[in-house]
């Protein structure tokens, strides 16, 4: 059975977050959007719920982490090419995001990372399709023997 994934993130300014993620090409489901939350569509099976902090607090008994001070998780989306990685990350920075780390280039895999407006750590990465299918170790061994 294929499952749907809903990642829930607390945000300070919902409208600013929507503008930021629209600048990266994401769309939103208006059926699950109101003044306190929106549903960002990542794929047919993956969604990110952006909830203003008071609404997010309704779903947890723990304090809400401050992503500007600590990393609660890393959120990674795939790209179809190295160029798309750069385009996506550049769009994030142009929309007000900040760099999280230097680009990482492992040959078969390339990625960049940024913090969104609330400090959540996002990564965008491309992996050679053959390496993704074989696994990085088998792919590297095959490349060395070629």
pLDDT digits (tens, 9 = 90+) for 47-80: 999 999 999 999 999 999 999 899 989 999 999 9
* Closest-CA residue to 50 (of 105, 9, 85, 107): 9
CA distance 90 to 2: 32
Q: What DSSP designation does 71 have?
A: -
Do 91 and 112 contact (CB within 8 A), yes or no?
Answer: no
Q: Is the pLDDT of residue 146 over 70?
A: no
What are the residues whose beta carbons fall under 8 Å from the beta carbon of 129, sequence distance 6 or more? none
pLDDT digits (tens, 9 = 90+) for 72-108: 899 999 999 999 999 999 999 999 999 999 999 998 9
Residue 13 phi/psi, 5-degree rounding, is: -130, 100
Using a pLDDT cut of 70, give the percent of the chain over it. 99
Domains along the chain?
Answer: 1-60 (3.10.180.10), 71-146 (3.10.180.10)
Residue 86 phi/psi, 5-degree rounding, is: -65, -45
Residue 47 phi/psi, 5-degree rounding, is: -140, 150
């Amino acid at each position: 059975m294929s499952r749907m994934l809903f990642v829930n993130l607390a945000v300070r300014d919902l409208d600013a977050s929507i503008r930021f993620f629209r600048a990266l090409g994401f769309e939103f489901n208006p059926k699950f959007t109101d003044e306190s939350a929106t549903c960002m569509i990542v794929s047919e099976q993956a969604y990110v719920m952006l909830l203003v902090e008071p609404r997010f607090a309704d779903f947890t008994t723990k304090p809400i982490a401050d992503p500007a001070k600590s990393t609660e998780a890393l959120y990674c989306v795939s790209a179809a090419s190295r160029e798309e990685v750069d385009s996506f990350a550049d769009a994030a920075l142009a929309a007000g995001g900040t760099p999280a780390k230097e680009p990482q280039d492992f040959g078969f895999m390339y990625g960049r990372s940024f913090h969104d407006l609330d400090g959540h750590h996002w990564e965008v990465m491309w992996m050679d399709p053959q390496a993704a299918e074989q696994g990085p170790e088998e792919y590297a061994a095959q490349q060395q023997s070629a």
